[in-house]
Amino acid sequence: MSKLVAPHGGKGLVCALLEGAARDAELEKAKGLKQVEISARTKGDLIMMGIGGFSPLEGFMTKADWKSVCENMNMADGTFWPVPITMDVSAADAADIAEGDEIALVRDGETYATMKVTEKFEMTEENKKWECEKVFMGEGEESVDGNFWKIAPEDHPGVIMVMAQKEFNLAGPVKVLSEGEYPKEYPGVYLKPAETRAMFEERGWSKVAALQLRNPMHRSHEHLAKIAVEVCDGVLIHSLIGNLKPGDIPAPVRIKAIDILIEHHFVKENVISAGYPLDMRYAGPREGLLHATFRQNYGVNNMLIGRDHAGVGDFYGLFEAQDIFDRIPKTGDPAKDLLCEPMKIDWTFYCHECDGMSSLRTCPHKKESRVILSGTKLRKALSEGAEIVDHFGRDEVIAHLREYYEGLTEKVEVKMQGAASGDSM
């Protein structure tokens, strides 16, 4: 009997990925089906459904599920889910698709899945705006006092993505036929939930924490991971290897930075570095909940949530992603409720007077003594060739990142928001 937390939804790992002869037969059938081009986000969602990362989802959400997830953070049957997982198609494609049809989902010439369409529903501009307000609007200064729709359409990548969706959504179960480039490009890093669970079991872990990363690890990330190692059996450093926004650092560069850090500054037996194939949604608190939900499927029961988790700009309050865990719906049924709990950590930084890493809960000194750490601040300094303040990151990691930035022929301006600058501390 496994001591790890059960997969979300009470059905074990629900994996839609076909293999062997079944996959070959479905690929052959797909050639005769209507071909629907999918987005990068949909590709990542499909792969997560394929490998069990989105258990208990078997396909894309119905209108009832979409509405309930946006409004109540659970699906129509009461199962917790914080962010809608939907698939959009154009009005022209929708006109050729009837409920009950099977279609092939393709991207860049590759067939990623087949889908049995059970429902087709229109997404008006008002529907999209309502989704954005429910999922992306936070408590930060760019969301309140009427600022959200003044700023978000141009500056919030998640809102831009939703508002650019096509006119209809299709719902229905899928059969996944490809994991894309991930197995080949990230061997040993791209791990399925069944694989991480097997690794945890082999190491005798039962209490596992996860650190979500979309930036290279600076000293604050390292500190969070080591706090988790102290109180759990081990930590999964889990990096997003799907698409990010312009100016973010590519996954291979980030993965190598993590490897360097683990090599020199961690007890290797207590940490696993892995990646997952989603695109970033930048949904702040709601995305923090999504991170915990699918980490539960990977065998994780503690999700590290620090300052401005999954945030962008100043749309979210600094610790809104922690507070939202206290407001999620609970049914009392472990099959429906979120079992992965947050590990809430205060704002962390290096303090010269403390002579080490500290937090607002442990450091009594003035702001001037603190080195404020953030991924955005690090990327901005590196992109501008500026000096990196002592104790911001490990020397070996900074050297690796400088090499990457020096090789860039085109630089993207990095916007510095209040949450990253430390102005709001």
Helix (H, G, I), strand (E, B) or coil at 250: coil
Number of alpha helices (DSSP H) and beta strands (DSSP E) in the chain: 16, 15
> From the candidates 74, 169, 215, 302, which is the catalytic residue?
215
C-alpha–C-alpha distance, residues 313 and 292, integer Å: 22
CA distance readout (Å), 180 to 111, 172, 176, 184, 418: 9, 21, 11, 9, 37
Angle (CA) 141-320-153 rounded to 5° is: 45
C-alpha–C-alpha distance, residues 254 and 260, integer Å: 10
CA-wise closest residue to 400 among 258, 294, 233: 258
CA 35 to chain centre: 28
Q: Is 215 tagged catalytic?
A: yes
| Structure token digits, residue 109 | 């010439």
| Structure token digits, residue 132 | 């954005």
Q: Is 214 tagged catalytic?
A: yes
| Structure token digits, residue 229 | 């190692």
Are 177 and 112 spatial neighbours (Cβ–Cβ below 8 Å)?
A: yes
Beta bridge partners of 115: 103, 174
C-alpha–C-alpha distance, residues 140 and 353, integer Å: 31
> From the candidates 214, 219, 370, 379, which is the catalytic residue?
214
Residues with catalytic roles: 214-215
